[in-house]
Amino acid sequence: MYNWFECKVSYEKIIENGMVKKVSEPYLVDALSFTEAEARIIEEIRPYISGEFTVTDIKRARISEIFYDENGDRYYRIKVQFITLDEKSGAEKKTSSMMLVQASSVVEAISILEAGMKTTLADYSIFSITETALMNVFPYTPKESANPNTTSTINPKQAE
């Protein structure tokens, strides 16, 4: 299960005309806590930003699932309502869930979401779609392989 945090990073950016402008850009990171989210966003964006930067805000992002498309240059937040039948009353019950889709357009985002949802057995409907200001998404990726078949080259003296 992912715990997504939206982190805003403020820094000075050189714009097209050569002027320096202070910008604040949101990013999404997968982390276990606010502290880890701050450490991860600093680690992830440090190679891309020259000069000083500040993490100005961190908040939990309620994202159930993310659908990636490497050709997409934007992120869309899509609110999906799953439709279930209440067995006792026979009434329809709608449960909302927030999805994030990387795409180049709204039409493409819907197409990517529908392709990703083909395996679900639940009925759903798209309730809303909004383009976000997110610059990038950083899912957690382990630093080292946890494969037991690999041998470690750590000197036992260094591990102490």
Q: What is the pLDDT of residues 30-50, one digit of tens each?
A: 999 999 999 999 999 999 888
How many Cβ atoms from other residues are within 10 Å of residue 81's Cβ? 16
Q: Which domains does the chain have, with CATH numbers?
A: 1-61 (3.10.20), 63-137 (no CATH)
Give yes or no for residue 25 having a pLDDT over 80.
yes
Distance CA(146)–CA(28), nearest Å, equals: 25
Instruction: Summarize the confidence of residues 129-145 as an average pLDDT.
Output: 88
Distance CA(84)–CA(120), nearest Å, equals: 13
How many helices (H) does the chain have, and how many strands (E)?
A: 3, 8
Percentage of residues in the chain having pLDDT higher than 90: 68
DSSP class per residue in 85-154: E-TTT--EEEEEEEEEEEESSHHHHHHHHHHHTTT--SEEEEEEEEE-----EE----SS---TTSPP--
Closest-CA residue to 24 (of 61, 49, 60) = 49
Give yes or no for residue 12 having a pLDDT over 60.
yes
What's the pLDDT at 144?
61
140 or 76: whose pLDDT is higher?
A: 76
Read off the tokens for 36. Answer: 């880890």
What's the pLDDT at 16?
86
What's the pLDDT at 1?
58
Asked if residues 137 and 75 have their Cβ atoms less than 8 Å apart, the reply is yes
Positive or negative, the CA dihedral 149, 154, 157, 160 is negative
pLDDT grade, residue 157 (50/70/90)? very low
